[in-house]
Amino acid sequence: MCADLWSFALSTYARPGVEAACLRLQEQGADVCLLLCGAWLEQRGVVAEPERVQALQQLARPWRTQVIEPLRSLRVQWRVMAQQDQPLAALRERIKALELEAERELLTRLEALAQAWPIAQGQQQWLEGLAAEDAANLDHDALQLLRVMATGT
């Protein structure tokens, strides 16, 4: 079990099928950082309470919309042009690195918020709670794959 959220996110994302599942969920509007945080909390056995879910969502939303999504949008926008323009491709790679750094910062903030929450016995349903804003549109098989690969349940 990974002690910190960033290490957990990296190891989980590297598992077979998780990257593709996360990208599908992201395309459907899910916040993958929140979902990875939820899987981390499930693995640790932290109790999923509505107030905690809401606190994580409130922390993540402005960072995602004001920092991560503008970087991602620019990176995606430059994808085709960068294939023919080497200086632009180099700039795009720097934007990609900034996007990853912004995601790492969000995970650090989420971990700091959740670090003191107590551990309990039994299955916690963090992923469903954190995906609730987008639950109707999400690929539930991808969500379940994330859970299985992250927590083994």
Pairwise pLDDT comparison (3 vs 64), residue with the higher score: 64
Q: Indicate if the pLDDT at residue 130 is higher than 80.
A: yes
pTM given for the model: 0.88
Contact 150, 40 (CB under 8 A): yes
pLDDT interval class at 132 (50, 70, 90) = low
Q: What is the mean pLDDT of residues 8-29?
A: 91
49-89 pLDDT, tens digit each:
999 999 999 999 999 999 999 999 999 999 999 999 999 99
Closest CA to 68 of 40, 109, 38, 39: 109
Mean pLDDT over the full length of the chain: 89
Using alpha carbons only, give the angle 22, 43, 39 rounded to the nearest 5 degrees: 20
Q: Indicate if the pLDDT at residue 36 is higher than 90.
A: yes
Distance CA 129, CA 126 (A): 5
**Domain of residue 112, residue span:** 5-151
Number of domains in the chain: 1
Which pLDDT does position 68 carry in this prediction? 97
Q: How many helices (H) and strands (E) does the chain have?
A: 9, 0
Of all residues in the chain, what percent carry a pLDDT higher than 70? 92
